[in-house]
């Protein structure tokens, strides 16, 4: 009953629902092991249906009884749901089922987290609550009654009535079941309000369990109000209920969930105080609050027809939260951050066995497609569209999208059509971005003669699983030309490349220019451009485009790291001087300088080596990275203390971009300084820190030089009571352990009394920490592979979704040597051979094994 046979679902098989739902009434009689769910659902035949079959999804439900129009029925029950020969006319279906929230460790459906009931229904969790057509194109108005002896009982929409031990809620907006939510617990709210521009007063609450988290709610509330104002100003979108609730839960598979009027957040994605959260946490929380809030229009008011269209809501909502963060903080820094994330996660996905298009055309388990490709590449596709049509037409197209599709379950075709209708463009070729997987390589050749500069561009996308041949894409390529003094002779121009090979000319120049190509990362491609290091250093010093300025430094560093690995090269003074010049340039934003100082990751170097035809050795890469850091520290020796002192922030802590940038640069400098002073400055910063950014930055600097034993203990003594802070403590030790001790460190932490396999944050702290310790995870002993496999096998029966996400740690395995590949294969086959393996993990391990 538990694991229905895996079935592949195809986009091309979509058929409309046989029945539509007009209204849903749910009654919950809460009990930890015996919650009764009583449903009353008004169905009517769908005039557009192609089938008349009445089928309701249902999973892990104890069937008590069902009726149609008041008469008891005996439906066909299976592991997937309920079938019945229902009337071909409107009728009322009623059912009663029993479920057991306290034993539901999958964290999908209705479950318990530290005494509190909560739900997670996206994508297909509602079927674990009651029998229902659990698909996003069935939208209905929900009325919910909750009975339970807990003080706070919440659901979507507005409260309609309540009494001792019960509450009733009504959500006037028709919604798919995946947006349903219920929360019940002993909770306390931070309350505030926001008045929309048309004068509607909206009550806002952030709910936590009492006992420590109360002081961590204020920042999230400010972020929520900023998000509400921003969506009105920039997209003209107002909130549409009188109440907006956010609830923090400790056990959650993802970051947060946009349930209508009742967002549920992983505590780590909403709770923050200066003492317990880093600047990066604050920024992430602001972005996630915005993201979930923005879903109210892009996701909830306009939802997806089916789960293949997931990027319709996710790509757009990520794009919107990126714009928001840029507006709140720095566009340049945000663009660099986003490109780093895309390259680290999405390019990685494209390069391995898990590659898939932004809109996949088949899946077994939809949970496995909440990926960097759907989210982050999905957002890039929207950014390209905006660049191609221009800001004004983008705004018009979005207005048309909201006008035309409000209340719809829409498709990517609908989305593209509004752009075609507004601009008159034919977007058929552009649409390939949604169906074609893989990262395009853009090869650049240049020539110059008689005042004319020519760019010869070639695009090519390598094959991905199931897609051997690729077609040319529409690439918006932002280019600027600089003269030898660093002055811009051709300002940023967007070239529209549509062919596999294309040449673009710039005439009337007085000398050979230096080209700055793919400014602001105008398309999610890999640029192959045989520039000299002198040209790169020139761009690092002079480019007016901050993204390309940073990227020039990045490419220089990557090139150097590869030469150090392959040819035993030593760091050249040209590179080191270029870095020093940026570091010392006080006119530059400290956040930007911190980014330039940050080297590519060991993972980046491994991929770059593989792309260049080498077999990367994680141990060698680790050595080389450490060596380069030491060289940089020595070269900058005289400058580091001054910059560190300059980065001192006066006054009380605020998480704003400006002081955060200073702390980021201060911590980057401290890490280098520690290589020279044996950790003296870091120990001092640790001892005097009054905020988590500096406390953790110091601890990281110490662990990186294999010191900090006492500080780790002091940290645990200080923060043992705080789950979110202790997650950092668990993660840091594993991620920074010396390679030969990484697996042993992780294993030791799994027997720590505070390790809890059922808590995804804690599991991710330890095993996500292991995964990012590239040299440790890939240590030639295979200990990292074996340990992760052991724990994934243990986690799978409890929480398939998190297991299936964590198994992606293995997705780069084909780039390594035969011995490592053999060890990984053994680990993967051991997982694959586990009896009763979940469908989620089974799909992933099958794809990984190819
Ligand atoms: N829809 C959520 C978001 O993007 C993510 C999510 C997916 C959360 C599935 C839980 C389960 O904000
Ligand atoms: Zn989302």
DSSP 142-179: EEEEEE-SSSEEEESSEEEEEETTEEEEEEEEEE-GGG
Query: Can you tell me which atom of ligand 1 is nearest the CA of 314?
Result: 4
Q: Phi/psi at 103 (nearest 5 deg)?
A: -100, 5
Is the minimum distance from the CB of 840 to ligand 1 under 6 angstroms? no
Distance 16 CA to ligand 2 centre (A): 24
Residue ID of nearest Cα to ligand 1 atom 9: 122
b/e for 232-259, b at 16 or more Cβ within 10 A? Answer: beebebebbbebbbbbbbbbbbbbbbbb
Distance 296 CA to ligand 2 centre (A): 10
Residues forming the active site: 292
Residue ID of nearest Cα to ligand 1 atom 4: 314
Is the minimum distance from the CB of 321 to ligand 1 under 6 angstroms? no
Which segments of 58-148 are extended strands (E)? Answer: 62-68, 71-73, 76-77, 81-84, 91-99, 109-113, 116-120, 140-147
Q: Which residue from 142, 186, 114, 140 is spatially nearest to 37, judged by alpha carbons?
A: 142
Is the minimum distance from the CB of 370 to ligand 1 under 6 angstroms? yes
For residue 577, the 8-state DSSP code is: H
Q: Ligand 1 test: best mutation among 370, 374, 800, most atoms within 8 Å of CB?
A: 370
Query: Can you tell me which atom of ligand 1 is nearest the CA of 125?
Result: 11
Q: What stretch of H or E contains 785? A: helix 783-795
Is the minimum distance from the CB of 254 to ligand 1 under 6 angstroms? yes
Is the minimum distance from the CB of 120 to ligand 1 under 6 angstroms? yes
Determine the pLDDT at residue 1: 39
pLDDT in tens, 780-818: 999 999 999 999 999 999 999 999 999 999 999 999 999
Q: Which residues of the chain have pLDDT under 50?
A: 1-2
Determine the pLDDT at residue 3: 53
Q: What stretch of H or E contains 526? A: strand 526-529
- CA atoms of 210 and 184, how far apart (whole Å): 14
Is 0.95 surpassed by the pTM of this model?
yes
Distance 96 CA to ligand 2 centre (A): 32
Q: Ligand 1 test: best mutation among 181, 257, 309, 319, most atoms within 8 Å of CB?
A: 257
Looking at the CA of 760, which ligand is closest?
1
- CA atoms of 370 and 253, how far apart (whole Å): 12
Looking at the CA of 255, which ligand is closest?
1
Question: Helix axis angle, 310-328 relative to 218-235, nearest 10°?
Answer: 100
Residue 651's Cβ-count burial label (10 Å; 0-12, 13-18, 19+) is exposed
Is the minimum distance from the CB of 543 to ligand 1 under 6 angstroms? no
Distance 256 CA to ligand 1 centre (A): 6
Is the minimum distance from the CB of 376 to ligand 1 under 6 angstroms? no
- Cα–Cα distances (Å) from 368 to 210, 365, 371, 840, in that order, read 34, 6, 7, 7
Determine the pLDDT at residue 4: 55
**Percent of the chain that is helix, strand, coil (3-state, to 5):** 45, 20, 35
Determine the pLDDT at residue 2: 45
Residue ID of nearest Cα to ligand 1 atom 5: 257
Determine the pLDDT at residue 6: 79
Distance 129 CA to ligand 1 centre (A): 18
Q: Ligand 1 test: best mutation among 255, 265, 287, 298, most atoms within 8 Å of CB?
A: 255
Is the minimum distance from the CB of 350 to ligand 1 under 6 angstroms? no
Q: Per this entry, what is the length of the chain?
A: 850
Distance 255 CA to ligand 1 centre (A): 7
Residue ID of nearest Cα to ligand 1 atom 12: 257
Q: Ligand 1 test: best mutation among 126, 177, 254, most atoms within 8 Å of CB?
A: 254
Is the minimum distance from the CB of 178 to ligand 1 under 6 angstroms? no
Determine the pLDDT at residue 761: 99
Residue ID of nearest Cα to ligand 1 atom 3: 257
Is the minimum distance from the CB of 365 to ligand 1 under 6 angstroms? no
Residue ID of nearest Cα to ligand 1 atom 1: 257
Looking at the CA of 805, which ligand is closest?
1
Query: Can you tell me which atom of ligand 1 is nearest the CA of 252?
Result: 10
Within 8 A by CB and 6+ apart from 474, the residues are: 384, 388, 429, 430, 432, 433, 496, 497, 498
Positive or negative CA dihedral for 491, 495, 500, 504?
A: negative
């Amino acid at each position: 009953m538990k694991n229905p046979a895996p079935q592949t679902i195809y986009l091309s098989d979509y058929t409309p629902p046989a029945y539509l739902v007009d209204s849903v009434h749910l009654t919950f009689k809460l009990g930890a092991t015996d919650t009764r769910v009583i449903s009353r659902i008004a169905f009517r035949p769908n005039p557009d249906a192609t089938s008349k079959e009445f089928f309701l999804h249902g999973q892990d439900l104890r069937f008590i009884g069902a009726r149609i129009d008041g008469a008891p029925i005996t439906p066909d029950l299976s592991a997937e749901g309920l079938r019945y020969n229902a009337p071909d006319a409107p009728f009322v279906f009623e059912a009663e089922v029993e479920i057991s929230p306290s034993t539901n460790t999958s964290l999908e459906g209705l479950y318990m987290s530290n005494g509190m009931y909560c739900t997670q229904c996206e994508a297909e969790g509602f079927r674990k609550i009651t029998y229902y057509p659990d698909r996003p194109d069935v939208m209905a108005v929900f009325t919910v009654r909750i009975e339970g002896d807990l003080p706070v009982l919440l659901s979507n929409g507005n409260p309609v009535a309540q009494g001792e031990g019960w509450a009733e809620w009504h959500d006037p907006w028709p919604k798919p079941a995946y947006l349903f939510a219920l929360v019940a617990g002993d909770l306390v709210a931070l309350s505030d309000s926001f008045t929309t521009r048309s004068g509607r007063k909206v009550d806002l609450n952030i709910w936590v369990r009492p006992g420590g988290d109360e002081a961590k709610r204020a920042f999230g509330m400010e972020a929520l109000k900023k998000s509400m104002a921003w969506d009105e100003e920039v997209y003209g979108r107002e909130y549409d209920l009188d109440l907006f609730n956010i609830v923090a839960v400790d056990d959650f598979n993802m970051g947060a969930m946009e349930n209508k009027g009742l967002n549920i957040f992983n505590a780590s994605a909403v709770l923050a105080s200066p003492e317990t959260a880093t600047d990066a946490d604050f920024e992430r929380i602001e972005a996630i609050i915005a993201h979930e809030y923005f879903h109210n229009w892009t996701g909830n008011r306009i939802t997806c027809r089916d789960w293949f269209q997931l990027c319709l809501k996710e790509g757009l909502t990520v794009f919107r939260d990126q714009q928001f963060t840029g507006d709140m903080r720095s566009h340049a820094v945000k663009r660099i951050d986003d490109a780093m994330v895309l390259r680290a996660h999405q390019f990685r996905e494209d390069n391995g066995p898990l590659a898939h298009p932004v809109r996949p055309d088949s899946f077994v388990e939809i949970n496995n497609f909440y990926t960097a490709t759907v989210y982050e590449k999905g957002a890039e596709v929207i950014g390209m569209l905006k660049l191609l049509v221009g800001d004004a037409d983008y705004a018009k197209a979005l207005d048309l999208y909201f006008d035309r599709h409000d209340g719809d379950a829409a498709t990517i075709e609908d989305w593209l059509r509004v752009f075609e209708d507004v601009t008159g463009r034919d977007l058929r070729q552009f649409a390939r971005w949604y169906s074609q997987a893989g990262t395009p390589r853009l090869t650049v050749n240049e020539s110059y003669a008689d005042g004319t500069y020519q760019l010869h561009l070639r695009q090519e996308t390598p094959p991905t699983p199931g897609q051997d041949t690729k077609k040319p894409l529409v690439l918006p390529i932002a280019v600027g030309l600089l003269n030898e003094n660093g002055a811009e002779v051709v300002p940023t121009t967007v070239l529209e490349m549509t062919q596999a090979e294309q040449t673009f000319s710039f005439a009337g120049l007085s000398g050979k220019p230096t080209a700055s190509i793919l400014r602001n990362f105008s398309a999610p491609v890999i640029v192959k451009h045989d520039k000299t290091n002198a040209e790169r250093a020139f761009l690092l010093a002079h480019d007016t485009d901050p993204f390309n300025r940073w990227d020039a430094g990045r490419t220089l560093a990557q090139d150097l790291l590869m030469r150090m690995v392959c040819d035993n090269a030593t760091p050249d003074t040209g590179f080191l001087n270029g870095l020093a010049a940026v570091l010392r340039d006080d006119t530059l934003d400290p956040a930007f300088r911190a980014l330039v100082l940050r080297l590519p990751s060991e993972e980046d170097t491994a991929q770059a080596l593989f792309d260049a035809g080498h077999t990367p050795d994680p141990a060698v890469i680790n050595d080389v990275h450490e060596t380069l850091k030491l060289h940089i520290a020595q070269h900058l020796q005289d400058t580091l203390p001054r910059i560190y002192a300059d980065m001192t922030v006066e006054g009380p802590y605020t998480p704003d971009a400006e002081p955060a940038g200073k702390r980021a640069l201060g911590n980057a400098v401290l890490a280098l300084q520690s290589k020279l002073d044996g950790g003296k400055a870091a120990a001092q910063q640790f001892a005097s820190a009054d905020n988590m950014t500096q406390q953790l930055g110091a601890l990281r600097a110490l662990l990186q030089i294999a010191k900090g034993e006492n500080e780790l203990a002091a940290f645990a003594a200080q923060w043992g009571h705080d789950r979110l802070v202790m997650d950092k403590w668990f993660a840091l030790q594993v991620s920074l352990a010396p390679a030969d001790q990484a697996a042993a460190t992780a294993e030791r932490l799994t027997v720590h009394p505070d390790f809890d396999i059922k808590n995804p944050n804690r599991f991710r702290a330890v095993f996500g920490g292991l995964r990012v310790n590239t040299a440790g995870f890939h240590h030639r002993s295979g200990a990292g592979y074996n340990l992760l496999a052991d724990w994934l096998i243990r986690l799978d029966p409890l929480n398939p979704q998190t297991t299936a996400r964590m198994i992606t740690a293995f997705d780069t395995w084909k780039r390594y040597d035969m011995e490592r590949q053999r060890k990984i294969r053994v680990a993967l086959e051991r997982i694959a051979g586990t009896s009763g393996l979940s469908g989620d993990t089974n799909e992933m391990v099958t794809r990984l094994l190819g």
